[in-house]
Structure 1
């Protein structure tokens, strides 16, 4: 199922820290930090946790000879760390989670052992096609029930064997009779990335290759030997195709992209968006595409075709329900036939504006990221001649959304290392096993970078964690007196009339691949 989900907090309490550590996967990744709260104050030796305060469980470690959980709370924007002994008793409830997850992530990290998990489809990625088992426009909750499966490797086979948990067999432990090194050890790209930098470069054989016709995916075939030179973080620009209908194509563009871009007009639905896009480099020039009647005589009413130069945000006094009130406004200069007129637009104004472009210059990708705030609209004016096919050149318009930093491995073919490639660690489903071979040359051949087209699901996975603290604040309400409504993802109190039993999530105790039963 090509969907993302929000996790509904479990209403059943946990009675001790040890119970939580047994039920939840607590680990170093961002998924392995479950959050709980206590309905009562908890007094520790030198710290008191207030009731209702969100407690983040970070890791389980041995402290002074006893197993304990490293935890943290954020109070007045200041983090506070402390430890809970596993013997700590009390009532703990799971906190609400506003993140979105794939089924694989939920199965691996978010389903407590011996419990089910209720989830709700996220509006971020809610597409329906004929292969989707859910009813079209379904807006209820799902109950996910895990079905366990073991993945195993055999001594004289390179493929992975799948063993169902309900298989009626007897198992005998013969670990002491065999050398574990004689078995192949499948590693995901995440496993390889967790190796220390001193262990690189290394030679590996591909056990399960990825699918895809684009290089380098089409050369990563099962059984092929590759050299993995190093691991590192690299910058990409996340871009989306500009089009009115869906689905849109999404791309991750490396900073080494050699094509050139020309600017395309941006569209702004509100005056608030104009304030966000305003920059010191140049004055923003826009044309109104939608009329707006101001409810206050002190503020300007907009007609279709009105042109403005955006100046700055300020406050203005207006008469509201018989009383004077200060509101946020956007100061602009209206462009008339032979003069300029200063006007004030309410910041909450829901209208429509399109940018007027006076700049005809062609830009490199790095220049745009340096000189202009994102998001930014462009079109490829000169394609990248260093690649056989530039996928961006055929796109009528692109919106550069944000710069991201992602994890990559640098690889080449072991048999013919003519060129090396960057492969993403978290978006490539691929397993390898390491070979005890020496690398002929430590210096990698010339590096080829590609524009990576990503799926809708991968797009939201990239965006949800990138620069969360740097995102602009939410838009103000459309009218001053209308407070924003808060969406609720709780399960209805009256029962589970809209809850369906989802296809059982089958996940493995080793690699945790998802299958639909």
Structure 2
């Protein structure tokens, strides 16, 4: 039975692909296929195509205000990246069975793919009764004891209960209210049921209204969304992928059951190739649709090229991110074969928990406090900006409370004084801030870092990879190597020049190929190359999710008791690694106690303690840095920061403070040698291989 292409695609279950269609009523214009804007817009009657996939390309929205659909404009076209956050309005049309829900609603592994429904009637199961109007969360579709079922869950008295519902379960099921907000792209991918429209309400605009905005100014109504799909298909007469829009004015008929689908080329994604058995490799494939913006040679992965796929395997990568904060971070996957060299950079450690996690057996962790903390207990240490510590280990400490003593977690450290050391305890709930002091100017290669240090680890490229034309990491001001991961890769080479092979990722490279019936004998794999991949924010979170799905993050430090705010400043991140580096002539040994003259060299930069810290010994050792003007004019910033303290918002003051700190250090010296020359910057320190640290105050 013939139907419009739009109706057929809207009702098509992706699990039923591929489908062979015959055009029953088409449009002919100078050939069977006419392309415009990257999509074929005409098909002739009698044409046969095989649909291999489809996805939402755009949304047609009708404006609904006061429960009435506006007649003019009749509809507006919205791209998936149209700005704004939207709330989904629950569909009041019931579903007749669990099987209908699974056919029409997207159910997947992410939080977007967990729809919620309720039944107006009780559902009696073997060991559980689902009460009427109780919210049921659909988590996944799986085979249970030979029967297809949906794994579900309900929450009662803050306790989760899991159960399964077979697809054959009938009844009335209604969609629950969804109080989350989504982007249009998220709604298109997860929240539009097949064969149904979706009503959404604009909750928050992400940009100011202008004349190009198709929605009315100050619009507060609802939108009825209808998806327009992009259909991927193949034809007998063509080797490439045909792209059709589902609103093309043609009628089609499904002839899959009476047509030999093998007459068409079989496009395979890289995931499909990876699922082949190892015995089927090597194989020859022709690229039907190459990736866009690829980081690989253009003559290797362009459409129409033949490649040899030698084998499939798991390969190691190091996940890295930029350390800058002035713009969105870029993320990279670095192969172990990367030939550049790195130098260490100081780490920002915001809490005492981070200090405990960052310490290692290889060397003692040396840090400088960049944020003040007033301890509510005399047994625990109060920190001022500029205090320097050698981190020891975590331990329990008894503190006095009303009515007795209480054991709390604390971090044992050695406070560096002008004439020696003092053992102190920092509370683990401390909302402080620290920066690492580096005593190491060695250049490391990537495998050395992974072998000798714990990740995450801050570095900067000191020698670029000379084996590649352009090293994307060399231009990055700072990198945090976060973790080692393993991922799926295919080893390929060009069929025309097989002397060089490349590792290509299976799940991050959108590419379609079809296998070429050519015999190829297994041979020695040529020299292998691996590119540094720059990945998107979404890919970054997916990589971390799959790599760490069994790991739990460290606990958040509990909030400390509210204290009277003290006017102590916080040092911004930008410039910390320059201001707090160790000079070239500074030879601290953090594996043992320093001698008095070395300790005196790092005791300097401090700020006056508030009255709450008067019980500390040696409080008078601090130089009156306030006289230099560093703290003047920043009291308002500090008070605003203390007001945000309850939100655990580790904010930094603006860039002007950096210049004040640098000016204060220009007159500061270590061993009568100035840290920074008059009018100088930190750049020459870095070029000299210096890692700086605060010196004595005059």
TM more than 0.5: yes
- Aligned partner of 1:223 in structure 2 is 304
Which SS does the other structure have where 2:367 is aligned? strand
Question: Larger deviation: 403-412 or 109-118?
Answer: 109-118
Structure whose alpha-carbon radius of gyration is higher = 2
- Aligned partner of 1:87 in structure 2 is 169
Which SS does the other structure have where 1:469 is aligned? coil
CA distance in 1, matches of 2:82, 2:484: 24
The answer to whether the aligner puts 1:258 opposite 2:339 as a matched pair is yes
Q: In structure 1, which of residues 171, 174, 180 is the aligned counterpart of residue 252 of structure 2?
A: 171
CA distance in 1, matches of 2:207, 2:238: 40
8 A Cα contact 1:477 1:484, kept in partner: no
Distance 1:172 1:456, change over 3 A: closer
CA distance in 1, matches of 2:454, 2:177: 35
CA distance in 2, matches of 1:119, 1:323: 56
Residues 273-303 of structure 1: per-residue CA shift (max 9 Å, x gap): 2122123333211011222222333322211
CA distance in 2, matches of 1:3, 1:370: 46
- Aligned partner of 2:148 in structure 1 is 68
- Aligned partner of 1:365 in structure 2 is 446
The answer to whether the aligner puts 1:59 opposite 2:139 as a matched pair is no
Which SS does the other structure have where 2:371 is aligned? coil
8 A Cα contact 1:6 1:97, kept in partner: no
Q: In structure 1, which of residues 472, 480, 497 is the aligned counterpart of residue 553 of structure 2?
A: 472
Q: In structure 1, which of residues 139, 164, 180 is the aligned counterpart of residue 261 of structure 2?
A: 180
Residues 128-160 of structure 1: per-residue CA shift (max 9 Å, x gap): 9x9x9799xx9x999765223433222212333
Question: Larger deviation: 303-312 or 319-328?
Answer: 319-328
8 A Cα contact 1:237 1:401, kept in partner: yes
Shift of 1:460: 3.4
- Aligned partner of 2:666 in structure 1 is none
Which SS does the other structure have where 1:289 is aligned? strand
Shift of 1:21: 1.3
Residues 374-401 of structure 1: per-residue CA shift (max 9 Å, x gap): 1101123444344344332343321101
Shift of 1:59: 2.5
Q: In structure 2, which of residues 305, 318, 324 is the aligned counterpart of residue 243 of structure 1?
A: 324
CA distance in 1, matches of 2:401, 2:370: 27
CA distance in 1, matches of 2:402, 2:213: 52
**TM-score, normalising length from structure 2?**
0.57
Distance 1:296 1:257, change over 3 A: same
CA distance in 1, matches of 2:181, 2:460: 33
- Aligned partner of 1:511 in structure 2 is none
Shift of 1:424: 1.5
Aligned residues between the structures: 472
- Aligned partner of 1:380 in structure 2 is 461
Shift of 1:223: 0.9
8 A Cα contact 1:477 1:483, kept in partner: no
CA distance in 2, matches of 1:163, 1:333: 69
> Relative contact order: is structure 1 or structure 2 higher (C-alpha 8 Å, sep ≥ 6)?
1
- Aligned partner of 1:305 in structure 2 is 386
CA distance in 1, matches of 2:513, 2:336: 28
Residues 457-496 of structure 1: per-residue CA shift (max 9 Å, x gap): 43334334431432423422443579879xxxxxxxxxxx
8 A Cα contact 1:16 1:92, kept in partner: no
- Aligned partner of 1:393 in structure 2 is 474
The answer to whether the aligner puts 1:433 opposite 2:521 as a matched pair is no
8 A Cα contact 1:235 1:403, kept in partner: yes
Distance 1:456 1:30, change over 3 A: closer
Distance 1:302 1:145, change over 3 A: farther
Distance 1:177 1:366, change over 3 A: same
- In proportion to residue count, which structure has more helix? 2
Which SS does the other structure have where 2:391 is aligned? strand
CA distance in 1, matches of 2:525, 2:467: 19
- In proportion to residue count, which structure has more strand? 1
Distance 1:435 1:102, change over 3 A: farther
8 A Cα contact 1:32 1:58, kept in partner: no
- Aligned partner of 2:580 in structure 1 is none
CA distance in 1, matches of 2:227, 2:127: 40
Residues 105-142 of structure 1: per-residue CA shift (max 9 Å, x gap): 764555332253869999xxx999x9x9799xx9x999
CA distance in 2, matches of 1:403, 1:127: 38
8 A Cα contact 1:151 1:162, kept in partner: yes
CA distance in 2, matches of 1:41, 1:256: 60
CA distance in 2, matches of 1:444, 1:357: 42
Question: Larger deviation: 470-479 or 447-456?
Answer: 470-479
8 A Cα contact 1:111 1:117, kept in partner: no
CA distance in 2, matches of 1:49, 1:284: 55
The answer to whether the aligner puts 1:332 opposite 2:332 as a matched pair is no
8 A Cα contact 1:422 1:447, kept in partner: yes
**TM-score, normalising length from structure 1?**
0.75
8 A Cα contact 1:259 1:383, kept in partner: yes
8 A Cα contact 2:309 2:490, kept in partner: yes
Shift of 1:306: 0.8
- Aligned partner of 1:197 in structure 2 is 278
8 A Cα contact 1:205 1:433, kept in partner: yes
